[in-house]
Amino acid sequence: MTGRLAQRHVLITGAGGGIGLAIAEACLAEGAVCTLADRADTPADGVAQLRRRHPDAAAYVAADVSDSASVGGMLYAARAAHGDIHTLVNNAALFDMAPLLESDAASFDRLFAVNVKGMFFVMQRVLQHMVDAGVAGGSVINMASQAGRRGEALVSHYCATKAAVISYTQSAALAMAPHGIRVNAIAPGVVDTPMWNQVDALFAKHEGLRPGEKKQRVGREVPLGRMGTPADIAGVAVFLASDEARYITAQTLNVDGGNVMS
């Protein structure tokens, strides 16, 4: 590692496992200090292990991004731990699916509360902090998805939330450009995380598949021949947070093994 994120404070939501935890590990390895946020009152095992390896550089805060007071507490705790925030990785999200004609308001409200409302207002609060504090070279990285690039019959609400992430990323980037703050997004494809076991179970239920069949199928169908790993996404997040991406803003980078071409 080269210390590309030395003297940077990275706030990561949804950091309890999977992609969020992998991004935290990569940022710490590149010299950043990190505040890891997740809903659990106590950190998950992976976060606890990371904190033991980096006791002075990794802080944890419990937060619900869909709750304004909780978001305020998260930002206060992050600044108390490591000072001004230089990079936000907006990763917290929920997934659900159902046939379109059976999709209900409860699922809609739950997904939009976290994936859109939570994403936007965490971003807004962090951007306001960056502007007020005069953070030089600030960066926001929102987690979109290949699902935000197209509709899917069983995944209408989730697809819509991730399309909103892409749109808000573009608008925020234009608004923040005069302040020298960059806003980008990452659109992962199918990534082998614990969440995909839940996704696979839902596809099995709604498509009449055997457990594990959907996961195997989507991996084979990726042009590069496999599902992604959290580390595949983490490397791109480090790049976008670093000075190497200083002339990149308003972009959503597809990290999906070739599933989406743009």
DSSP-assigned states of every residue in 208-224 = TPPTTHHHHHHHHHSTT
The mean pLDDT value of the chain amounts to 97
Among candidate residues 253, 246, 84, the one with its CA nearest the CA of residue 181: 246
The strand pair at 87-90 and 9-13 is best described as parallel
Q: Kindly tell me if the per-residue pLDDT of 45 is higher than 90.
A: yes
Catalytic (active-site) positions: 158
Separation CA 8–CA 24 (nearest Å): 12
3-class DSSP state for residue 168? helix
Q: Which amino acid type is present at position 197?
A: N
Q: Would you state the pLDDT for residue 252?
A: 98
Both tokens of residue 119?
């994403």
73-84 tens-digit pLDDT: 999 999 999 999
CATH (residue range 9-189+232-254): 3.40.50.720
Residues 230/22, Cβ–Cβ less than 8 Å: yes
Q: Kindly tell me if the per-residue pLDDT of 72 is higher than 80.
A: yes
> Quick one: average pLDDT of 15-23?
97
Per DSSP (E only), the strands in the chain are 9-13, 33-38, 58-62, 87-90, 139-143, 182-188, 252-255
Cα torsion 258, 4, 19, 9: sign: negative
246-257 tens-digit pLDDT: 999 999 999 999
Q: Would you state the pLDDT for residue 2?
A: 80
Separation CA 70–CA 76 (nearest Å): 10
Q: Would you state the pLDDT for residue 9?
A: 98
Question: Residue 262: pLDDT band by 50, 70, 90 thresholds?
Answer: confident
> Quick one: average pLDDT of 129-133?
98
Question: Residue 146: pLDDT band by 50, 70, 90 thresholds?
Answer: very high
Separation CA 251–CA 262 (nearest Å): 11
Cα torsion 138, 18, 223, 160: sign: negative
Q: Which amino acid type is present at position 245?
A: A
Among candidate residues 119, 130, 163, 131, the one with its CA nearest the CA of residue 252: 163
Q: Kindly tell me if the per-residue pLDDT of 1 is higher than 70.
A: no
Residues 82/32, Cβ–Cβ less than 8 Å: no
> Quick one: average pLDDT of 35-59?
97
Secondary structure letter of residue 250 according to DSSP: S
Write out the residue limits of the CATH 3.40.50.720 domain(s) in the chain.
9-189+232-254
Separation CA 165–CA 14 (nearest Å): 15
Which whole-number Å values give the CA distances from 200 to 25, 134, 216, in the listed order?
26, 44, 9
Both tokens of residue 116?
């859109």
Separation CA 38–CA 51 (nearest Å): 14
3-class DSSP state for residue 235? helix
